Chains A and B, each alone.
Chain A
C-alpha cells in the first residue's frame, strides 16, 4: 500500500487517509461511522448489502468496495443525509420481511447487527409485507446450527471461516434471492470450538449459532441493549 494521502470530506468534515484503503475504513479512521452489515475487518469486502452506500461527488457507491484513489482527492462524500438514511432504513426493512426474523426467540437478539440497524433507524414496522419464506435449518453439524431463516446472504461466513489450508467451511448454492448457505460437513466434522465461536460471532445475524450455548448474556447487558451500533467502533478509534 502506498503512503500517498488522500484528502476528502464526509458531510463537511475534513478527512485524510492512505491511498488504497476502502472508503468505509478510511471514514472510520477519521471518526465517521458508515452503517454496514456485510463488511468486516481484514476480509475482502463483498459489497452485497448496500447499507454502506454513500454518495461520492453525487454518485451512490458502496463505501466498503470503494478504494481511495488519486481521483478521490477533494471528493465530497455524503453519508448521513436524510435521503441516504431513508434508503438504508428501507434496506433493513426489506431484509426483515425477506427472511423469518422472530427476534423474541432468537439467540442473537441484542447482539444482532441487523436488529441493531433497525434500532438505529427506530424501525417500528417494516413498510413491506412479510414473505414468510420456507427455509431449512441444518442442525446436523456437531458444533454449529445453521438457521437459514435468519440468513441475510452476506457471505461473511464463506469469506472468513476457513481452515489452515484456506478452505471455507461454508459455501453457497444458487444465486440472488434463492442463494442458500451450506456447511461443508466433511470439514465441519472437525470444527474447533474456537472456530465455531468465530463463525457465530462473525455472522451479523443469528443464522450461525454455536451449539450447547445460548442466551448467555442477560437482557440489558448485551452489545446493543444500551448503545447504538457504531458506538464501539468510534470509541476504538479515539
Chain B
C-alpha cells in the first residue's frame, strides 16, 4: 500500500496540538510506516510539493495569513481535519471576539502596563509585511469546508492516533468515553 500523504499547519494555535501528535510515543514508528509528511512544521517543508490525502489544522483564523494558508490547505488536501478547540471554535484567542479589535490593539500596544517603556512612540504595528488582524477569530469550518473534528485542548494523542488510523485503514473508529474531552 502506498503511504498516505499528510500535511499539517498551526494557524492561531499554540503548537500544543502538534505536540499531542508527537505524544503518541513509540507509535510514531508505526505512523511513519503509514504516512509520509508533506507541508508541515514537523518536517519543515514550507510549500506543498504534491497533493495530500489528509490535512491536519491546528488553530483558528485570527489574521489574513491564516485564511490564505487554510484556503491553500483546502485546495491541496482531500480531507481536512480541525484538530483541537482553537480550530474548532477559535479557542483561547477567540476570547477577544466580544471586544472590538481597536480596543484590543489599544490595550496591547498603548494602554497596557508595560507599553510605556517598550513602546514609547505609541505605535500600533502597521508594517505592510504584517498580516491583517481579523475582526474576530474564526473557527476553521466557518472559512472552508472541514471534514472531521477532533476536540480537546489538546486532543488526546490517542484520539488523534485512532482517528488517523481509522481514516487511513478504513478501520471502524471506536471512541472510549475518556478520549473525547474539551480540555
Q: Closest CB-CB distance, A76 to chain B, in whole Å?
A: 30
Contact A119 B183 (CB under 8 A): no
- Distance, CA A109 to CA B141, complexed state (A): 24
- Distance, CA A140 to CA B90, complexed state (A): 28
Q: Hey, which chain B residues are within 8 Å of A133, CB to CB?
A: 98
Contact B90 A130 (CB under 8 A): yes
Q: Closest CB-CB distance, A129 to chain B, in whole Å?
A: 6
- Distance, CA A158 to CA B178, complexed state (A): 33
A70 at the interface (CB under 8 A from B): no
Contact A124 B98 (CB under 8 A): no
Contact A104 B82 (CB under 8 A): no
A134 at the interface (CB under 8 A from B): yes
Q: Hey, which chain B residues are within 8 Å of A123, CB to CB?
A: 151
- Distance, CA A42 to CA B80, complexed state (A): 48
Contact A130 B177 (CB under 8 A): no
Q: Hey, which chain A residues are within 8 Å of B92, CB to CB?
A: 102, 104-105
Q: Closest CB-CB distance, B180 to chain A, in whole Å?
A: 5
| From A103, A124, A125, contact of B183 by CB (8 A) | A103
Contact B175 A122 (CB under 8 A): yes
Proximity bits, A81-124, B CB within 8 Å = 1, else 0: 00000000000000000001111111001100001001100111
Contact A219 B183 (CB under 8 A): yes
| From B90, B91, B136, B177, contact of A226 by CB (8 A) | B177
Q: Closest CB-CB distance, B181 to chain A, in whole Å?
A: 7
Contact B182 A104 (CB under 8 A): yes
Q: Hey, which chain A residues are within 8 Å of B59, CB to CB?
A: none
Proximity bits, A219-230, B CB within 8 Å = 1, else 0: 100000111100
B35 at the interface (CB under 8 A from A): no
B79 at the interface (CB under 8 A from A): no
Q: Closest CB-CB distance, B120 to chain A, in whole Å?
A: 32
A132 at the interface (CB under 8 A from B): yes
Contact A125 B151 (CB under 8 A): yes
A135 at the interface (CB under 8 A from B): yes
Contact B98 A125 (CB under 8 A): no
> Which residues of chain B from 77 to 98 have any CB-CB distance to chain A below 8 Å in the complex?
82, 85, 88-92, 94-95, 97-98
| From B89, B98, B148, B178, contact of A135 by CB (8 A) | B98
Contact B178 A105 (CB under 8 A): no
Q: Closest CB-CB distance, A191 to chain B, in whole Å?
A: 28
Contact A104 B94 (CB under 8 A): no
Least CB separation from A125: chain B residue = B149
| From A104, A118, A122, A124, contact of B153 by CB (8 A) | A104
Q: List 29 A-B contacts (CB under 8 A).
A: A100-B95, A100-B97, A100-B98, A101-B89, A102-B85, A102-B89, A102-B91, A102-B94, A104-B91, A104-B92, A104-B153, A104-B183, A106-B183, A109-B183, A115-B182, A119-B177, A119-B181, A122-B180, A124-B148, A124-B151, A125-B89, A125-B139, A125-B149, A125-B151, A130-B89, A132-B90, A132-B94, A219-B183, A226-B178
Across chains A and B, which 4 residue pairs bring their CB atoms closest together, nearest first? Answer: A104-B153, A103-B182, A124-B149, A132-B97
Q: A residues within 8 Å of B by Cβ?
A: 100-106, 109-110, 115, 118-119, 122-125, 129-130, 132-135, 219, 225-228
